[in-house]
Chain A
Amino acid sequence: MNSIVRNRLNDKLFYIWGLISTFIGLIMLSIFLGQIVKDGAQRLNWDFFTSLPSRLPEKAGIYTAMIGSVWILLMTLIIAFPLGVAAGIYLEEYIKKGRWSNLLELNISNLAGIPSIIYGLLGLEFFARTLHLGGSILTGSLTLSLLILPIIIVTTRESIRAVPGSIKEASYALGASKWQTIRMQVLPASMGGIMTGVILALSRAVGEAAPLIVIGALAYVPFAPSGPLDDFSVLPIQVFNWISRPQAGFITNAAAGIIVLLALTFLMNGIAVFLRYRWQNKTKL
């Protein structure tokens, strides 16, 4: 075999290997999804959604965990959305380049890389103990808000940066102040991109179990929470709890819980991708 033939063969072989690599993760994921549906679909009936936790797998449901997840989702949105967007606006439109802006930027990129469980330790010591909020929904949402803040800040900045300068200049030329320009022109034009980032960040928060376990969210909550200071559980913690039990019936429950959790995550990701697509087409015009 001469070198030309060999080189062409290498090229072909790598093409095949590249194709395999691209799909191997997705194939594994689909095998797993198939397995999950096989294990869990039988358990997905109305009772499963409306039942409280129980020692008996056939009677246990995800009602309290679902309500807990919805609470956490909404509260995290209320806390993290204004804070993250405000910080993004400040970093993109107000701050002067210099030592502070470099520090803030380095800091945010570092925060994005800190493991979620470390945020859990912060939440445990500061929100739960020092502020006496305990293992409540408020503690959980504050902790998750800090966790997803870097994601929201980064996407806000990117979306604001994509707004054409001509729009801002036109607004200033009409006598608008800086904040008026941001509120009436920049934010509406970048809202699609910002919402994409916020939804992706929230979908991450919904799947988090580790930091919430650390702040003291419980695996067993007899009643659904009704206020921000109540104890709570969330779907991922409920699933984790079921996985760690020996009875086979709980594995079925865990699989069914995962179907619900994945449906929620994929739905949120789908909405985000759709928004991004629509927004990209709009800004091209």
Chain B
Amino acid sequence: MTTQTKERIIEKLLQFSAWVTILTTLGIIAILAKETFSFFRKISLFDFLTDTQWTPLFTDKHFGIMPLLSGTILTSLIAVLVALPIGLSIAVFLNEYSNKSFRNAIKPLLELLAAVPTVVYGFFALVVITPFLQSIIPSLSGFSSLSAGIVMGIMIIPFISSLSEDALYAVPNSLREAAYGMGSTRFQTVFKVTLPAASSGVIVSVILAISRAVGETMIVAIAAGQQPRLTLNPLVPVETITAYIVQVSLGDVPHGSLEYQTIFAAGITLFVFTFLLNTLSYRLKKKFMEKYE
């Protein structure tokens, strides 16, 4: 075999590997669409979007996605409310206040927060956080979106802090120096000059953190409960889309049944949500990367 043919074969092999990623996306879309299509032949889209109950596993079946969606949004919202102030403060502190050696020492430790397996965080929520919260709020149930959301918030801190830090780092020093030259303190410089200049990067980090929280599974499956409920009360058990998929997967559901198809209908809802969030953040990121180049 000549070198040229060999080179060409290798290039084709490498090319195929790269195309596996496209095949994966197409495969996900095709599979979700196929099972969801079968689902919507039995259940109307209108019921799916407007029914306020989700009880596919009961005798009195209802197929409204809203309770699962509200559970997902509620836990994610709590997580972001915890992670955003802390993550953003970390980014500001490490980038504008602390020295370089402290930053280099602390960053791998913070990354560790995102490396802990999520089933471990679920245990944390159930065994440590829930009993602690119950001592403050006696009406809190054993499973709640509050407990799951707080722990999820701790998990996504590194997502917000590290991306926001990159965004702050990209702000040209001349802006900071101008602010200091006017007699500003570090605090004023950060909140009046640096953060506004880095805002699009911070927004990207928040969007990615939301997307991560929406798709998070084990924490909510363990600590948020398994009761689909259309509520904004953080103290009662709810069920998220991901927790429902786990619940069905643990049971013995026959292939091709309506129950089997519900997890794909729930899955496509989740997929659409995260896909929109990810595409939005990708666009924004491209934009802010160009800003100071």
Contacts and interface: CB of A to CB of B under 8 A. Distances in A.
Interface in A1-28: 7-8, 10-11, 14-15, 17-19, 21-22, 24-26, 28
Interface stretch (A54-62, A166-174, A185-193, A254-262): A254-262
A157 B94 CA distance: 28
B222 A32 contact: no
Interface string B19-34: 0111011011001101
A35 to B, nearest CB: 6
B208 A113 contact: yes
Contacts, number: 250
A265 B116 contact: yes
Nearest to A110: B278
A207 B123 contact: no
Contacts of A261: 117, 119-120
Nearest to A7: B185
Interface residues of A, number: 87
Interface stretch (B60-68, B103-111, B172-180): B103-111
Interface stretch (A45-53, A213-221, A222-230): A213-221
A117 interface: yes
B18 interface: yes
Interface string A151-164: 00100000000000
A213 B250 contact: yes
Interface in B159-210: 185-188, 190, 208
Contacts of B115: 200, 203-204, 207, 265-266, 269
A2 to B, nearest CB: 14
A89 B13 CA distance: 11
Given A10-B187, A110-B275, A121-B31, A153 B120 contact: no
Chain B interface main SS type? helix
B11 A94 contact: yes
26 contacts: A14-B190, A15-B93, A18-B90, A21-B86, A25-B110, A29-B154, A31-B128, A35-B128, A87-B14, A90-B11, A90-B14, A106-B279, A114-B215, A118-B28, A121-B31, A125-B264, A179-B10, A207-B119, A209-B118, A214-B249, A236-B218, A240-B221, A243-B126, A255-B127, A265-B115, A269-B111
Contact of A239 (B119, B190, B215, B282): B119
Contact of B127 (A25, A35, A122, A179): A35
Contacts of B98: 18
A105 B215 CA distance: 22
A195 interface: no
Contact of A208 (B13, B117, B126, B186): B117
B15 A94 contact: yes
A114 B11 CA distance: 28
Given A86-B13, A114-B28, A243 B249 contact: no
Contacts of A110: 25, 275, 278-279, 282
B90 A114 contact: no
Contact of A113 (B86, B93, B255, B277): B277
Given A208-B117, A240-B218, A240-B222, A8 B185 contact: yes
Nearest to A23: B106
A68 interface: no
A177 interface: yes
Interface string B230-257: 0000000000001001100110000100
B279 A214 contact: no
Contact of B17 (A86, A200, A213): A86
Contacts of B87: 21
B217 A126 contact: no
Interface of B: 3, 6-7, 10-11, 13-15, 17-18, 20-22, 24-25, 27-28, 31-32, 34-35, 85-87, 89-90, 92-94, 97-98, 106, 108-113, 115-120, 122-124, 126-128, 154, 157, 185-188, 190, 208, 211-212, 214-218, 221-222, 242, 245-246, 249-250, 255, 263-264, 267, 270-271, 274-275, 277-279, 281-282
Nearest to B8: A179
A239 B116 CA distance: 14
Given A22-B106, A86-B18, 17 more contacts: A14-B89, A21-B93, A26-B113, A29-B112, A106-B282, A115-B217, A117-B217, A117-B267, A119-B28, A122-B28, A149-B24, A207-B115, A209-B117, A209-B118, A209-B218, A239-B120, A266-B112
Contacts of A244: 222
Contacts of A239: 119-120, 123
A95 interface: yes
A108 interface: yes
A25 B154 contact: yes
Contacts of A64: none
A114 B271 contact: yes
Contacts of A120: 245, 249
A210 interface: yes
> Which 9 pairs show the lowest CB-CB distances between chains A and B?
A115-B215, A207-B117, A18-B93, A86-B17, A113-B278, A210-B217, A90-B14, A21-B89, A87-B17
Contacts of A275: none
